[in-house]
Homo-oligomer: A and B are copies of this chain.
C-alpha cells in the first residue's frame, strides 16, 4: 500500500476527521525528511500503538540558526515517500513553507529552563522554532500520540514539557536511538561526513559509554567523569566538542552530583557537520546516593 501524500492543511484535516469519526486512533511522527532507520523505528512504534500513522515532512525554517544549514538540509522527497510506503505509513503530510507560514509567524511557544543548557546555549531561538512548529503540527493533526527520537533528547524533553504545561491532549512517546554497528547514532546529517570523519564519529558514543562506565563503577562527581570521558576523544583532533554535559532527564539541568538517573549528552563538530548524541545512565542501586 502506498502512503497518501497530502500537501494541504485543509485536505489533511478533512482526511483525518474521517479517520477520527471512524473511531480510529492517530499517531504522528514529525520529521524533517531524509528518513533513515531511526525514523523507521518511530514509524514502527506508531504502527504498533495507533490505527492511522501520519508522517509529517517539513524542513522548518524557523528552527535553523544558519541559512546555510537550512539550505543544505537534504530533501529527498521521492525516497522519503517510498520509505513511508514501505513502512506502512498511511499519510505523508508534506506542506510547503507557504502552507505552514502563510503570513509572519507572530505567535511563538517558548519553554524556559529545559532549553537553557546543551544545544539551547549555542542555538538561540532553535527550540522556540521547534516547539512552535511542533505545536502547529499537533494542532493540525490532533494525534492521540506523537513520536520523537531520544537522540534529540533535549528536544524530546522540551516538547514533553510543552505538552504538559499547555495541556495539549496528546501522549508524547520517546523512542530509543538507533545506531550503526559501530555505535554512531543515526542522523540525517551523517551523510555530510567525509569518509575519514565517518570513521572517527563513533568516538562520540564511546566517550558517552566511558562516562556511563565510570558512573556504573561508583564515580559520582560529574567533573571527574567529564574529564575522563573527554580524554577518550584526545586522539581525534578532528572532533571539536561543543558541550559534554551530565544533566537530569526531565529539565536538562547540569547535576552537581550523580544520585539518580541522568542523561550524558554531547555535541561536537566534525568539519562542518554538527553531531549530537546522548545516553541514559543510572548509578548502580546500593551505591553512593545523596546521603551516603
Contact = CB atoms under 8 A, between A and B. Distances in A.
A142 B167 CA distance: 11
A289 interface: no
A164 B132 CA distance: 12
Interface residues of A, number: 28
A131 interface: yes
A161 B108 contact: no
Interface string A160-198: 011011111100000000000000000000000000000
A139 interface: yes
Nearest to A105: B165
A142 B169 CA distance: 9
Nearest to A113: B106
Contacts of A105: 165
Interface string A100-119: 00001111111111100000
B139 A107 contact: no
A107 B169 contact: no
Contacts of A108: 109-112
Query: Copies of this chain, how many?
Result: 2
A168 B107 CA distance: 11
Contacts of A111: 106-108
Interface centre among A111, A135, A161, A165 (most CB of B within 10 A): A165
A196 B191 CA distance: 75
A28 to B, nearest CB: 13
A36 interface: no
A22 to B, nearest CB: 13
B162 A107 contact: yes
Contacts of A107: 109-112, 131, 161-162, 164-166
A112 B113 CA distance: 21
Contacts of A168: 139
Interface string A64-98: 00000000000000000000000000000000000
Nearest to A169: B139
Contacts of A113: 104, 106
Contacts of A140: 167
